[in-house]
Amino acid sequence: MLRLTLALWLGLTSTAIAQEAKYFYTRQECWPLPFFMDMIVNEWGESALFTGTGVTIGENETPFKGAVMMFVNQDTGSWTLGTLYEDGSVCISAAGTEFEPYSK
């Protein structure tokens, strides 16, 4: 009985959380990797802070796997989050200013 109650509660909680989710479909500017790197390094003075792998969800919930890269200019505070896709293009997922290392 406890398992059934827990399963029902988890199911209802998951449904409630899923209903609160927001979805944003955005356009991303994309370039070939060499052009992107030249722009990031030479024009914006940013360097790689970290890399990882990730998935971007496109229209019709289509997943696109890619290498996620975070670039930062620690002098100016500018930052760029890009995703390198299998076709060799890099798209800017987000960019901004006022980068600061996180500290509690």
- Average pLDDT per 10 consecutive residues for the chain, totaling 104 residues: 48 59 81 95 95 88 92 95 94 92 83
Q: What residue spans define the domains of the chain?
A: 28-96
Angstrom distance (rounded) from CA 16 to CA 52: 30
Q: What is the pLDDT of residue 14?
A: 54
Q: What is the pLDDT of residue 102?
A: 82
Q: What is the pLDDT of residue 104?
A: 83
Q: What is the pLDDT of residue 43?
A: 94
Beta-carbon count within 10 A of 55 CB = 11
Q: Indicate yes or no: pTM above 0.85.
A: no
Q: Give me the residue label for tokens 């890399």.
A: 51
For the chain, give the DSSP string. -HHHHHHHHHHHHHHHHHHH---------EEEHHHHHHIIIIIT--EEEEEEEEEEE-GGG-EEEEEEEEEE-TTT--EEEEEEETTSEEEEEEEES-------
